[in-house]
Amino acid sequence: MYAIVEVKGKQYKVEKGQNILIEYLGEDAKESPEIKTLLLKKDDETVVVGTPYVENVKVNSKIVESLKGDKVVIGKHKRRKDYRRKTGHRHKYHKITIEDIIVWFFDFMASLVNVRYNSENIIEYISVDGHAGVKKIGEGYEVCIALSSITQAMQRALSSIVGKRHLIYKIEEANLSLRLKDFDKLEESKKEKYKIVSEGYLIGIKELIKEYPDYIKYKEER
């Protein structure tokens, strides 16, 4: 991960642990100078461009020493005036160490729960797509596990009620789905049990969404 930062009007490309020379900040410069981030490239190759600055990113730095650059000799000469002057200048810099680049925003990965009802207001199709969590950080994966566990438990319960012939279940990478088949051919008692279990599943999912709205999205079709 690296950042393009601005210090005293000049831009620098920095990484954690790097030493850079910046413009001299004065005798009363703070030990940790203010650094503004213009662009951030994260470890997953994602690039975030600021407008003009990137929010929720802090580049921690520390002044190591103040020093002078190479001497620049300046000569002045006036024609026919016998005027010659030679002076020298050594530009001042501060050497700073980039201690860390802290990012306070994350890329959320949300699961999508899609529910479709038939004309009789019975749930005929449910799918769960994607992983819930935060990329790289690992937060929120307990929500993904909970969502997957609830869905699979519901599938087993419905299969025991209506039989596998009436419930088509698929599980793939980052996808769970089940579809009701020939509901009208089921016995009335099984229809009622199916409705209770499937609606109970939705109640649990919606409660989970209330607690973790960033991780689970819900879509309903009628």
Which CATH number goes with the domain that contains 118?
3.30.70.1490
Within this chain, do residues 91 and 7 fall inside the same structural domain, yes or no? yes
Radius of gyration of the chain (CA): 32
Q: What is the pLDDT at residue 214?
A: 77
Within this chain, do residues 98 and 178 fall inside the same structural domain, yes or no? no
| Mean pLDDT value across residues 29-58 | 85
Within this chain, do residues 132 and 196 fall inside the same structural domain, yes or no? yes
Contacts 24+ apart (CB under 8 A), 177-186: 177/125, 177/126, 177/127, 177/128, 178/125, 178/126, 178/127, 179/124, 179/125, 180/118, 180/122, 180/123, 180/124, 180/125, 183/118, 183/120, 183/122, 183/124, 186/162
Within this chain, do residues 151 and 204 fall inside the same structural domain, yes or no? yes
Q: Which domain holds residue 152?
A: 108-221
Mean pLDDT, rounded, of the chain: 86
Q: Please count the structural domains in the chain.
A: 2
User: Which distant-in-sequence residues (6+ apart) come within 8 Å of 146 by Cβ?
Assistant: 208
Given a cut of 50, whether residue 39 has pLDDT beyond it is yes
Q: What is the pLDDT at residue 14?
A: 96
Given a cut of 70, whether residue 170 has pLDDT beyond it is yes
Q: What is the pLDDT at residue 102?
A: 83
Distance CA(218)–CA(199), nearest Å, equals: 14
Given a cut of 60, whether residue 154 has pLDDT beyond it is yes
Q: What is the pLDDT at residue 158?
A: 92
Whether the pTM exceeds 0.75: the reply is no
Given a cut of 50, whether residue 136 has pLDDT beyond it is no
